[in-house]
Amino acid sequence: MDFIIEKFLDFYPNISKYALKLFDELPISEFYRKEIVNYYMKCLNYNIEGGKYMRGITLVEVAYKCWNNGDKILWDEVLTAGWCIEILQAFFLVGDDIMDGGEIRRGKVCWYISQGLSMGLNDSFCLYIMSELLMKNALKSYSMDTLARIMDLLHRCIFYTILGQHLDTSPLCLKSTENLDERYFAMIQMKTSYYSIYLPICIGLLLANSTSGIPLEVEHFSRIIGEYLQIENDFLDYFGNNEKTGNDIEQGKLTWLLCKAMQDPLLRDDIVENYGRNAELIKKIYQKLNMESIFEEYKLETKNKVSSILEKLENKNLRKALRCIAIRIFSYHDQKCTSL
């Protein structure tokens, strides 16, 4: 197992311990405090377990490879910060499942279904606050300036993600197709690129006290990799082997597959008439267009773009970190990807 991944996973019991401390001084009786603690520790574990932990591992990878903050890396602080990003991810996923009417998440019944809609919504807020409180508690050894920069970055990326989610959940009108691609890429940049890639990289650099600051290439890298993550997710919704296959079509979602299919003028009218209504017909259109080959071409182009960005990066340690991150992301569903 990858050293960083192993280090990250082994640290989770500490996160449970730190999370428990958040409930130590509630102004209520011990009886009700225990009820709350038991419930929210169950909520935390249920919604954290089973993910790829890409965001948290990305943060740790960058901090480890770019460390310039004393002789020894502050593992406790860095690993806690990484897990805080994963708790933030859990907050977004619980909310996303509520908005989309999801049923299964990571092989389990969605949290809001098991607990009820109102409880699920409230619990998502609790996960968000827990991530922020744990982050602040973990980084007390850092300067107020560094902590302020991290919290500002965190809030800005959350804000962008909420706006991206708005674009994702807003009603889709296919009769006006002029700006379909533009809307799609605006949506995924706001919804995915900033909090999934840019945020953990930047926090990792700030924790490492990297003297080079945050190079412009980091934003370019984050945008390209964020786009890839969402496009791959769209692709796997139909072509993957998971329990949610085809949901995007049934829900009338704006996806990469839809954008590509709408580029064919001969098929456009059929898509407009049937998208969100007749999933089987849309699936046949996707098969006819050989979307698998189109996706493979896109993936190769993306790898080349990432390689080009990394070559321009002057910070060698950051370049190594981002290369590891990119390879890890490309290899999730492609074990043949071992280099860039």
Q: What is the residue extent of each domain of the chain?
A: 1-49+75-140, 146-340
Cβ within 8 Å of residue 133, ≥6 positions away: 22
Q: For residue 286, what are the β-bridge partners?
A: none
Tokens at residue 38, please?
């038991």
At 72 the three-state DSSP class reads coil
Instruction: State the chain's mean pLDDT as an integer.
Output: 91
pLDDT of residue 215: 87
Task: Give the pLDDT confidence of 133-172 residue by residue, as tens digits.
Answer: 999 999 999 999 999 999 999 999 999 999 999 999 888 8
Task: Give the pLDDT confidence of 169-202 residue by residue, as tens digits.
Answer: 888 877 666 688 999 999 999 999 999 999 999 9
Tokens at residue 1, please?
């197992």
CB 203 within 8 A of CB 84: no
- Tokens 């412009």 found at: 216
Say yes or no to pLDDT of 295 above 80: yes
Say which residue, 109 or 335, is predicted with more confidence: 109
Say which residue, 51 or 336, is predicted with more confidence: 51
Backbone angles phi, psi at 104, to 5 degrees: -125, 135
CB 57 within 8 A of CB 329: no
pLDDT of residue 170: 85
Exposure letters 276-306 (e unless 16+ CB within 10 A, then b): eeebeebeebbeebebeebbeebbeebbebb
At 105 the three-state DSSP class reads strand
* Domain over 146-340 is classified CATH 1.10.600.10: yes
Task: Give the pLDDT confidence of 221-264 residue by residue, as tens digits.
Answer: 999 999 999 999 999 988 876 555 567 888 888 999 999 999 99
- Tokens 């499942």 found at: 97
Query: Within 10 A of 101 (CB to CB), how many other CB atoms are there?
Result: 11
